[in-house]
Structure formats: structure tokens, C-alpha cells
Structure 1
Amino acid sequence: MQVCSEIRLPGLITLADLAVPDVTIRPIDVPEALENVVAAGPNWQRSADQFLLELPAIGRFLLEGGHSIGFARAPDIGDQDIAIFLAGTVFGILLHQRNHIVLHASAIAVNGKAVLFCGASGAGKSTIAAALGSRGYTLVTDDQAAITLDDAGTPIVHPDGRFLKLWAGSIDALALDGRKGEAMRGRMEKFYVEPVGSSTAAMPVGAVYMLFEDRPPRVAGIARPNVVDGARLLLANAYRPILIRRMGQQQKYFQVGAAIARAAGIFTLARPLRFTAMDDTVAMLEAHWADIGLTTAPNGMEPQG
């Protein structure tokens, strides 16, 4: 998806030549309320083709038709602060407007298929994606994964053109200091990190892993829940699940989750969070990819295409 923004959005890969953009972002006079509201929450309203969001002390945002975002910043809010919300929460809502399934996930490419890592903030999604990137796997998405179904009903993941977002400790542990960019916000010790390689093509889902720490009663390993439980896990890892419920999209997510569970597989991955265990986690994943047919080599290292 190509975005034309009148405000700089750190952490997005810049294109040299931009064709007709899919999405435009610009400052406008954002209304305080919408007409013909069909649903509303404490700080948002939705009509048939518009979505109005107010973030206190940040700004107001008007999303229209899944193709434009207008914003009006609160007093004393700089570009860096508002850009974080534009590229995060606001863009996630826009993807919902475009009828995408949006997961809180990072993804890498394994032999032409997207392998997704889902989990709450701090679960290690970006860190695992970065570790795999250092081993030759290209990044597909970071933090948000947009999924559609093609005409055959196959779940397809769309690349997002984002940099990784990593804490300083992860950057040091993975020896990525040479790729570290600016801090996300102020003095926050979280930074944009240029991936070793990025995918630009949409691709089918190869597997989805729900991340957990191996604390009792969980033990380290990979397990496959049944289709219903897998679909429930996917719904729980939707990007902004409260909004999904308020927009009445739970059934849609459940149906797509069931399709992914049947076609590709939804798995739980429990592992230690310490960096010294990362090699073991990667080895466990690569062995699993061979077991489920994503790769034929026992170490998973085939052309990543």
C-alpha cells in the first residue's frame, strides 16, 4: 500500500517514485461530530464511510472511505508525537475501513509465505522478527498485519513497508546498532530499526504463532490448538479488539481465523524471554517449519523469496 503524507512518518520506508497513492494523510479542519452516526464510543464516531477519532491532548482524526486521513493536532503537539498515532492506531482503523483483518502481529517471509507472530505489547513480536531477519528472512510487517481473503478464500498478508520498532536492549542483543534510527518519541528508549530485508509483495499466510513466555503451567514448545480455540486466539490478537467488538466485526474475525487455522495453522509458541535463548527459539521454529511443510531443509534456510 502506497501512502502520500503531508507530515513525515518516521519508521516507514520511503519510495523514490510514488504512483497514485492508496492513502493520503494531511492536516484539515476536522469536525467535532459526524452526521448520520451508526456507532459511537467514548472518543469515536462512525458513519457509513467516515470514522472520527479524538485522542485527548493529541488531536482529532477523520478517516474517509479507507483512502484518506485528515488530522487536526491539539495545541503544542509536534510532528513526532502525532506521527506515532497516525502510523499506529489511526492507520489500523483505516485498514479496518478497507475491510482488512488487522492483527497485532509482526511477520516474516518463509519461502513465499508469511509467518506471523502475534501477542500483546512486550510479547516479543518485533524481537523475533528482527532475530529471524538477521538470519536471512525478510520482514513483511511489524506490529500490524493486514489480511484479506483472495477470490479462492486464501488468507493473504499485505506488506506494510515499516521499520522494526525495538527497545535498546533488543538492538544491543541482536547487534543491530548499525541499523538503529531515531527514537520513537522523546526520550523513549525504543527506536526505529531498518530491517535487513523487506518484502514488497503480498503473500499467503504460512503459519500464525501466538507468543507466550514459558512460565508454569506453560512449558517451552509449539502446540496446535483446535480450530475453534485457534480462531478465538486470533480474535483476541486483533489490533484494538475493543474497537472490533464495538464495530460488530467479531464474527468476521472468527470466520477468517477458522480459515487460517484450517489452511495454514494457528499455533502457540512458548519460549524463554531472555535473549540468550533466542537461538534455541529460532531453531525450534525452523524445525517446525520443516515439520509442517513450509520448508524442506531441516534448518529452514532455503531461498526466502
Structure 2
Amino acid sequence: MPGLITLADLAVPDVTIRPIDVPEALENVVAAGPNWQRSADQFLLELPAIGRFLLEGGHSIGFARAPDIGDQDIAIFLAGTVFGILLHQRNHIVLHASAIAVNGKAVLFCGASGAGKSTIAAALGSRGYTLVTDDQAAITLDDAGTPIVHPDGRFLKLWAGSIDALALDGRKGEAMRGRMEKFYVEPVGSSTAAMPVGAVYMLFEDRPPRVAGIARPNVVDGARLLLANAYRPILIRRMGQQQKYFQVGAAIARAAGIFTLARPLRFTAMDDTVAMLEAHWADIGLTTAPNGMEPQG
């Protein structure tokens, strides 16, 4: 599958993805929408002109592609929407976010499509910070109630303009779809270890009334922002997970911090944005040294 980093083979795969004869309906349906059905341990999704997908137990994805749908197109949906649903099926918290590692902790950037999540992660990667995840961030609570982010081994997905501005052409892979000017980009470094959340930033453009800077909302508003940045929010309501998102959001707000980050979207301001972030990490107790190394001097 394009856009995924190849790691050492596992004796027992965590997720299997294979073509199958996907049923048109499930038995013992407990919830349903216009193009999906859910039972106790199965989820059936139909994407018109793309195909049907059957997810089982949080560990298996079966798919039946629509006519004339090639490997490239089906892979985008398998690695994106469908895998996000699989993580929901596991009862994970799934945010629309990219994340980098700072001193052994995951710093997440959340926002809608086009907010700059991947671009900020790529810019920080060029400065030595390791990528943890792109586009989707799966979070669980450990036995101590600490929010933990799980790496996903993805390439970055960047528009051609971002690739040019960040001088990443040497790492550019194939286009995501046909002539689309969005490409898979190999990160400079990619983490394979789960790690606690260090901070979560909600991205905004510095348009009035917002001004450039970082602010910390109260715990309740922070938890609401987290829920608003869930991956496919409608699934949260349909799967009855709102309370869990508020619980994890409150845990993140207390243990690490949920912040708003307003900044200019122009590439010429990226150095200022990175400097603002590194100063903030120093203020909240995260090191400014990349890849978990101690600062020099």
C-alpha cells in the first residue's frame, strides 16, 4: 500500500487487509446510517463508486472494490477512512491530527483539512524532530490513566507547494491519486514507539479576531475542541463514544495541555511558527532538543 513505511515482518499481523466477497448487509444490526451498518463486532461501509468494506473485531478489513477502481484509489480509502473506523472499532480515541516527538512525548497538531497539520509536522521534521503520525492519531489511556499516542508508520501527505517551500522534493513519492498535486513524502525520521501526549495544539489562521499566538482554553473548552477534531466525528455519536472523548480530553488537558495555535498560513512565516512552538515547549517543560536528546550547553 502506498504511503506506508515498511517495517520488519511480524510473526502475527495486527491487522489483515484482503479482498473478499463483502455482504450487502449485516445480521443483528445495532446501528446504521445511509451507507453503513454496525453490529456487535462488525462494521459494514459502502462508498459509492469505490467499494464495500467489512471491518471485524478491530483487526480485519475485507474489501470489494467497485468496477474500474485501481489499487491506488482503493488504498487511499483503506489507509484513511476505513482504517480510522477500525481504530474506532477498537475503542481508541482517533483525532484528525499529525504528531511529532519532543523529548519522548508526542506533540499533536489538530485541525480540519487544509489547516496545515502535515506541513507543520514536515517543517519540524526538517529540523530534526521525528514524525509519530500523520492525519490520524490513535490515543489510548494506560493503566495509570496517561494518554498514549500510537505511531502509525505513515508517510506525510503534502501538496506540491508545501514540498517546494520545505525543500522536500528529494523525499517526494508518488501522487496520491492520478494527476492530483498531493504526494506521499517520506519523513526524515519516523517513530515506532508509543509515547505519552506532551501537548495538543488546535490550528487556526490568525485572521481577526484571532491574533498570532498560543493560548490555553479551560479544561471543558479544551475537551470540546478535542471532540470537534475527532476523525469522522459523526461516528463518535453513532458509536456512543462522546463520554470517552470528554474523559480522554480532560485527561490530556490536565496531564499535558490542550492549546490553540493561531499563525499565518504563508510559508515565509514558518520559521516564526517553529520558534514560537519551541519557546512554548520550554515554557511548559518540554525540551527544545529534537529526537529526545538533551539540549547542548
TM-score range, shorter chain: over 0.9
State which of 81, 89, 106 in structure 1 corresponds to 2:98: 106
Quick one: distance in 2 between partners of 1:258 and 1:60?
Answer: 36
**Could you tell me how far 1:300 is from its partner in structure 2?**
9.8
CA contact (8 A) 1:44 1:52 kept: yes
Task: Show CA shifts across 1:231-283 (max 9, x none).
Answer: 00000000000111111111111111011001100000000000000000000
Using a 3 Å threshold, how does the CA distance of structure 1 residues 69 and 298 change in structure 2: closer, same or farther?
closer
Quick one: distance in 2 between partners of 1:144 and 1:28?
Answer: 26
Larger mean CA deviation between 80-89 and 292-301 belongs to: 292-301
CA contact (8 A) 2:287 2:295 kept: no
**Could you tell me how far 1:164 is from its partner in structure 2?**
0.2
**Could you tell me how far 1:83 is from its partner in structure 2?**
0.6
Quick one: distance in 2 between partners of 1:206 and 1:30?
Answer: 41
Using a 3 Å threshold, how does the CA distance of structure 1 residues 69 and 303 change in structure 2: closer, same or farther?
farther
Task: Show CA shifts across 1:100-148 (max 9, x none).
Answer: 1000000000000000000000000000000000000000000000000
**Could you tell me how far 1:297 is from its partner in structure 2?**
6.6
Quick one: distance in 2 between partners of 1:27 and 1:161?
Answer: 22
Using a 3 Å threshold, how does the CA distance of structure 1 residues 29 and 237 change in structure 2: closer, same or farther?
same
**TM-score, length of structure 2 as denominator length:** 0.97
CA contact (8 A) 1:136 1:304 kept: no
Quick one: distance in 2 between partners of 1:13 and 1:304?
Answer: 31
CA contact (8 A) 2:45 2:52 kept: yes
Using a 3 Å threshold, how does the CA distance of structure 1 residues 263 and 21 change in structure 2: closer, same or farther?
same
1:121-160 to structure 2, matched below 5 A, reads 121-160=113-152
CA contact (8 A) 1:286 1:300 kept: no
Using a 3 Å threshold, how does the CA distance of structure 1 residues 21 and 250 change in structure 2: closer, same or farther?
same
Using a 3 Å threshold, how does the CA distance of structure 1 residues 263 and 124 change in structure 2: closer, same or farther?
same
**Could you tell me how far 1:16 is from its partner in structure 2?**
3.7
Quick one: distance in 2 between partners of 1:303 and 1:75?
Answer: 55
**TM-score, length of structure 1 as denominator length:** 0.95
Q: Which runs of 5+ in 1 are unaligned?
A: 1-8
Q: Which runs of 5+ in 2 are unaligned?
A: none
CA contact (8 A) 1:147 1:156 kept: yes
SS in 2 for 1:136: coil
Q: Corresponding residue for 1:231?
A: 223
Superposed structure 1 runs of 4+ greater than 6 Å apart: 296-301
Quick one: distance in 1 between partners of 2:105 and 2:134?
Answer: 16
Task: Show CA shifts across 1:51-101 (max 9, x none).
Answer: 000000000000000000000001111111111000000000000111110
SS in 2 for 1:75: coil
1:168 aligns with 2:160: yes
Once superposed, what is the RMSD of the aligned Cα atoms? 2.0
Q: How many positions carry a matched residue from both structures?
A: 297
SS in 1 for 2:177: coil
Using a 3 Å threshold, how does the CA distance of structure 1 residues 42 and 186 change in structure 2: closer, same or farther?
same
